[in-house]
Structure 1
Amino acid sequence: MSHVSCLMSHVLRRKTIGIIGAGNMGQALIKGLIQTGVAPKRLAVVEAESQRAHLVARRTGVRAVALSQAARECDVVILAVKPQDLAPVLIDLREQVLKRRHRVLIISIAAGVRLASIESVLGHVPVVRAMPNLPATVGEGLTALTRGRFATATDMAVANAIFQSVGDVVELPERLFDLVTAISGSGPAYFFLIFQALRDAGIRGGLPKPIAQRLAVQTAYGSARLALQAREELEALIARVASKKGTTEAALKIFARRGLVRILQQGVGAAVTRSRRLSRVVSGGIR
């Protein structure tokens, strides 16, 4: 086990964690936590579809329980449900949380639902809001975290440890979460579109589709790893590839003339606007 995994395991060692919702993200967290060293018996899954819950339990060794049991017994409850399904879950949680003698940490990954809306239902309960992205399903996600009024630094350490099991973590104020949604939440689709464009260019030039896709995706993967490890700014990395009067420079000039950077930034801006609008709608439905 790596040094980071050991630290994560230490933070979570005595925690019991309930995951409400066994969709893609819920199952990714179960897998990541177990791989980090959390014992399956300390994990509980709650799922409206009982067949799916028992399937996940059999495959992973975690317990399939009712929401009321998870709320009573777990130190941490992760809300991995769709925003439109969150309101009744919060109401049921409130009834159980109010009966508890010991505090419970609530972590919500319901997209767009603001901390104030959750706290308005649960009261003086520590809440952390998390915004993971799709690569978390393969352990390479980026999750943004922000804490509510009653969450402590210790609560944030627990949330960090949980989401480090599926990738990297950053802590940001909630006011930036719409921008996070537009960049890292929606971002995988932008890159998939670029991969597709490069793949299709290769196919038109005569490459077999599997080879063209492999060239595009593996090049992106290697470039991402290089960008993460390099000390240079992105502009310097571009310059390392784009030699004077070379093939890369020829392509970059076309991109510049057609306004590729401006188009991408406008797309992010549109995603931010939509995220803010949706957040108002889903958060308003919780209160």
Structure 2
Amino acid sequence: MNHSYILTLSCPDRPGIVHAVSGFLLERGGNIEEAAQYNDPGTGLFFMRVQFGCDQLTYEDLKVQLQSFGEPFQMGWKLHATNQPLRTVILVSKEGHCLNDLLFRWKSGLLPVDIAAIVSNHREFYQLAASYNVPFHHIPVTAATKAQAEARQYEIIEAEKAELVVLARYMQILSDEMCRKLAGRAINIHHSFLPSFKGAKPYYQAHDRGVKLIGATAHYVTADLDEGPIIEQDVARVDHAHTVEALTAVGRDTESQVLARAVKWHGEHRVLVNGHRTVVFR
């Protein structure tokens, strides 16, 4: 049986990296199925994603040999088996359009994730979760109980061995500590085309400014509110006749599509963080 893997890596740029990676895989019976690379002249860093088949070495053997291979290049790398979807926990509040969209795409086989649990500070979507046979955890959050609530959330994330946490319109600001614990594995959808209209009620802000385009932004969660590395964005055209409610309706569709693409690309290991930015190998 041919086992398929995805190798992602970054390191200081220099001649011969692609040749070296290709040679490493060839020597171990690897067959490259897809490859993409990018060198950032601003940072001097090189990024690469390679999907390959290999049946001569186990996953663990490959990891051991990659460790030795990468050291001379000062290479940071990750190896993933393509047949292992990412264990995922979704956080949501009272608006369920993104949650509903993700659940449908997941059950339809359109997302490379395995949704293990849904966590919410409200009860609205327990029936939706049950219809997909996904465990639902209601954890109320107040200013007085925020620390305890986050501790319980993190217990669930760890118990489910979640590699990805999706904030699908979870309308709570995570603490700095929680952001650090979830660094690189938490995706938020912001109902605005960041960096414009950050914070609360962006559609009201957009309507007040009379915008002609509204958008949505999927980004990694960091302690800096709405300023994490951006994965995906999109816009929709509106005009002076749109009320706040109409803007919101258009925006919800955009949010769902943008978040789904971000989750898909992350699940396919196509997103590499490059400082405050990302490299996305679509």
Structure with the higher fraction of residues in strand conformation? 2
Shorter-chain TM range is 0.3 to 0.5
Structure with the higher fraction of residues in helix conformation? 1
Q: TM-score normalized by structure 1?
A: 0.34
